[in-house]
Amino acid sequence: MTPGLHHYLIVSALLFSLGLLGVVARRNLFVIFMGLELMLNAANLALVAFSRYHNNLNGQVMVFFIITVAAAEVAVGLALLVALYRKRQTAHVEDLTSLKL
């Protein structure tokens, strides 16, 4: 049996859910960040699968945009987390409580 579009989409949906689970359930900011990347890559997989299925290369071009944007996001995000760690000596979401009513 050759894998069809559905198989790729199911894998993509699973990856997306796993990433979301990582963001929602984990408490470490770096692991949350990894979850975010997983979610973006799930979308990439879906785009490539659709692109191949429709024989339309636009989807794969979109993937390049997403990869580029994700790289920019990681660069800024990690710098921000390092700055926070220097200030607060923590990378846990429970410790981000200085802003409240």
Per the CB < 8 A criterion, the answer to whether 92 and 27 are in contact is yes
Q: Please give the radius of gyration of the chain, using alpha carbons only, rounded to the nearest integer.
A: 17
Among 6, 7, 54, 92, binds other proteins (CB under 8 A): 54
Among 1, 2, 72, 94, binds other proteins (CB under 8 A): 72
SS3 state at 28 = strand
Among 11, 18, 20, 34, binds other proteins (CB under 8 A): 20
Spatial distance between the Cα atoms of 24 and 8, rounded to a whole number of angstroms:
24
Number of neighbours of residue 26 by Cβ within 10 angstroms: 16
**Matching residue, tokens 């071009």:** 61
C-beta of 2 vs 93, nearer to other proteins:
93
Site string for other proteins, 22-41 (x = CB under 8 A): -x-----x--xx--x--xx-
Per the CB < 8 A criterion, the answer to whether 74 and 32 are in contact is no
Q: Which residues bind other proteins (CB under 8 A)?
A: 9, 12, 16, 19-20, 23, 29, 32-33, 36, 39-40, 42-44, 46-47, 49-51, 53-54, 56, 58-59, 61-62, 65-66, 69, 72-73, 76-77, 80-81, 83-84, 87-88, 96, 98-99, 101
